[in-house]
Amino acid sequence: MTLYLRHYWQDDRLAFPSSSKKSRTFDARLVKKIWVPDVFFVHSKRSFIHDTTMENIMLRVYPDGNILYSVRITVTALCAMDFSSFPLDTQKCSLELESYAYNENDLMLYWKNGNDSLRTDEIVLSQFFIEEFHPSYGLAFYSSTGWYNRLYINFILRRHIFFFMLQTYFPTMLMVMLSWVSFWIDRRAVPARVSLGITTVLTMSTIITGVSASMPQVSYVKAVDIYLWASFLFVFLSVIEYAAVNYFTTVEEMKNHNNGTKLGCDTNYVCISPYCRTATLRNSAAEPPPTEGTRLRRKKSIKHNLSFIMSNSYMIDSYSRVVFPMTYLLFNIIYWSLYS
């Protein structure tokens, strides 16, 4: 973050008589010859004063000894962030200023105009919106040197989501919906459905790998991880669905082939042999007809239902065309409700 840090204090030694009461402005050369506060950023990882084309330092001295000292600084500061909701997260960060050598008995730091001391109109961050900011102050204790005044600039930052929507969420949604196309392809078109399923799985793997490489390396699950792996599960299940359809179709065709070449009679199948008719009539005569006023209830066991699905494997695709989109829509509603 680049900012203008302005200090105000009074030094009677620099007072001068002036009939017009106008201030005098100096550059960095005078700063090295007078006393200035030794303020530093507590959790700064890297800070520097801009020096193009000259050092960006301004010193303004008023006749009564009041001094304005302004520097243009770029600060890279540490902020402890929680990425469990990444990239739909809101972070609380702060910049902390403190005197390095002078404790509270020697130097007192405070905000000159309270909340109006800060202006973020011109601050634009590439990844965050500044939702709220406010200054505060407190004391910091060091066991060897004592208590020091400390100033805080507290920020509430909300991450820009549009970049991640374009790079992560939209491609993932498209890959999941593309995997559903196989439900409308004929079940006998093995090369088309297999190639489509493998392509979507590999594309999802590439998306997950690329996103993970650019994300912070943390040991807990992030919101984007939940979305990516749930979407990968939907794509993977679409491949498993076709594996089941293809297997049941193969079993059905083999059964029909065996029944077509089978000789003899079977009461469950129609044949033109006279023995079949005799056996069918004999079986029907052995079973007494239902009495009037009674109802026939057929209990369908799990084995019977499985056998029915195996003999009608095309129904799996029909159900998948509805179940997969509705389940994915429900997942998105829950996901965006929790993290938005």
> Among all chains, which residue has been given the structure tokens 């749930």?
230
Residues 118 and 251 in one domain: no
pLDDT-derived band at 274 (thresholds 50, 70, 90) equals very low
pLDDT score of 291:
53
What local confidence, expressed as pLDDT, does residue 325 receive?
Answer: 96
Whether residues 171 and 135 share a domain: the answer is no
In tens, the pLDDT along 101-136 reads 999 999 999 998 887 788 766 666 778 888 888 899
Q: Which pLDDT band, with edges at 50, 70 and 90, does 254 fall under?
A: confident
- Kindly report, residue by residue over 161-181, the tens digit of the pLDDT: 999 999 999 999 999 999 999
For residue 289, what pLDDT is reported?
A: 55
Q: What's the CATH number where 171 sits? A: 1.20.58.390
Q: What is the pLDDT of residue 62?
A: 94
Task: Examine the pLDDT at 273 and tell me if it is beyond 50.
Answer: no
Task: Please provide the average confidence, as pLDDT, over all residues in the chain.
Answer: 84
Boundary of a domain, candidates 112, 139, 159: 159
Complete DSSP assignment for 24-57? EEE-HHHHTTS----EEETTEEEEEE--SSS--E
User: What pLDDT shows up at residue 278?
Assistant: 42
* CATH code for the domain of 99: 2.70.170.10
215 and 327 part of one domain: yes
Residues 235 and 155 in one domain: no
Please report, rounded to a whole number, the percentage of residues in the chain having pLDDT higher than 70. Answer: 83
Q: Structure tokens of 212?
A: 């993970």
pLDDT reported for residue 249: 84
pLDDT band at 262 (very low <50, low <70, confident <90, very high): low
* Closest C-alpha among 88, 332, 323, 86 to residue 215: 86
pLDDT bin (cut points 50, 70, 90) of residue 217 is confident
Q: Count structural domains, the chain.
A: 3
Q: Kindly report which listed range (19-33, 183-197, 211-225, 289-303) carries the lowest average pLDDT score.
A: 289-303
Q: Which range is least confidently modeled, 5-14, 243-252, 294-303? A: 294-303
Instruction: Tell me the pLDDT tens digit for each residue of 27-83.
Output: 888 888 999 999 999 999 999 999 988 899 999 999 999 999 999 999 999 998 999
Residue 18 included in any domain: yes
- Last residue of some domain: 159, 191, 211? 159
Task: Tell me phi and psi for residue 68, to 5 degrees.
Answer: -115, 125
> What residue numbers bound the domain in which 122 lies?
81-159
Q: Which helix (H) or strand (E) covers residue 133, if one does?
A: strand 128-142
Do both 320 and 193 map to the same domain?
yes
d(CA 278, CA 274): 6
Give residue 256's pLDDT band: very low, low, confident or very high (50, 70, 90).
confident
